[in-house]
Amino acid sequence: MSEIARMYGVVLDCPDPQALAAFYSAVLGWKVVDDRPDWVSIDGGGDYKLSFQRAEDFRAPVWPSSDHPQQMHLDLVVDDREKSGAQVVALGAVEHSHQPGRDFTVYLDPAGHPFCLCDD
């Protein structure tokens, strides 16, 4: 089967694109490649970009509740989950109280999006 399209990147809605881009740039070691008032993209030199767009009416997802459910989350592979967890918390993440698995830890980024640090 031939492709219809190619993946360009993932875009997260948020109230402050610069702040969330700074967080993920520090977590992933990626560089800001596009910085506008309502849009920021970071790139690690690979095939995909991670972008952040301002959403004036942004409401953080409430997970695992269905009141305002997450629509997606990022799974990030790490070598040392405990060390990496302390680092993302120092950058502004919060460890979630609900931990449904043994080989990953769920955090909330500064805008409230869930993301996972996963064993390699």
Q: Give yes or no: residues 93 and 118 share one domain.
A: yes
Q: Give yes or no: residues 37 and 70 share one domain.
A: no
Alpha carbons 38 and 78: distance in angstroms, whole number: 30
Q: Which residues of 4-25 are buried (b: 16+ CB within 10 A; e: fewer)?
A: eeeeeeeebbbbebbebbbbbb
Name the nearest CA neighbour of 109 among 67, 70, 57, 65: 70
Q: Give yes or no: residues 52 and 75 share one domain.
A: no
Structure tokens, 90: 């120092």
Q: Give yes or no: residues 53 and 82 share one domain.
A: no
Q: Give yes or no: residues 112 and 77 share one domain.
A: yes
For residue 72, the model assigns a pLDDT of 85
Task: For 50-78, write each residue's pLDDT tens digit.
Answer: 999 999 999 998 888 777 777 789 999 99
Which residue range forms the structural domain that includes residue 22? Answer: 1-58
Alpha carbons 99 and 50: distance in angstroms, whole number: 25
Domain boundary among 58, 77, 94: 58
For residue 65, the model assigns a pLDDT of 75
CATH at residue 32: 3.10.180.10
Whether residue 99 is predicted with pLDDT greater than 90 in this model: the reply is yes
How many domains does one find in the chain? Answer: 2
Which residues are paired to 35 by β-bridges?
Answer: 40
Task: For 4-25, write each residue's pLDDT tens digit.
Answer: 788 899 999 999 999 999 999 9
Q: Give yes or no: residues 87 and 103 share one domain.
A: yes
